[in-house]
Amino acid sequence: MTLNIEDKIELSRYRIEKAKRLLQDASILFDSGSYESSINRSYYAILTASRALLILRGIDPETHEGVKTMLSKEFIRTGLLPKDSGETFRGIQARRIDSDYGDYIEIGQDEASDSLKRAQDFVERAEGILNRLI
């Protein structure tokens, strides 16, 4: 995909707004006691916010692992995102995989609450970086 800078900015803004909508979904699901689904939406908020940042660099990975790798290379190793951002991505991704695909996995309120809070922090940081870069 070849985008000019205006298209990259527009797509980045769209993605960060989508990430914020996913956080709202995660919050609603959490409040209703749907902890597994809340973790799922929290993870996808992080993934989408990561993609919002990467598109500003002209990077649009096709896989979740590609997003994680390129986020680390472009934003964590360079110091634009704190090092704990990589752990947040990996940790909530692991929770999402466990809750979506694991048998007999019980996801509690504490795990869902932690995931939601960490996703909110991640998206907020990503939006701040986006605003500084554009």
How far is the C-alpha of 124 from the C-alpha of 85, rounded, in Å? 12
Sequence-separated (6 or more) residues with CB below 8 Å from residue 5: none
pLDDT number for residue 78: 95
pTM for this one?
A: 0.96
Tell me which CATH code domain 5-133 carries.
1.20.120.330
Tens digit of pLDDT per residue, the chain (134 long)? 589 999 999 999 999 999 999 999 999 999 999 999 999 999 999 999 999 999 999 999 999 999 999 999 999 999 999 999 999 999 999 999 999 999 998 899 999 999 999 999 999 999 999 999 99
Q: What letters, b where the CB count within 10 A reaches 16 and e where it falls short, cover 89-120?
A: bebbbebbeebeeeeeeebeeebbebbbebbb
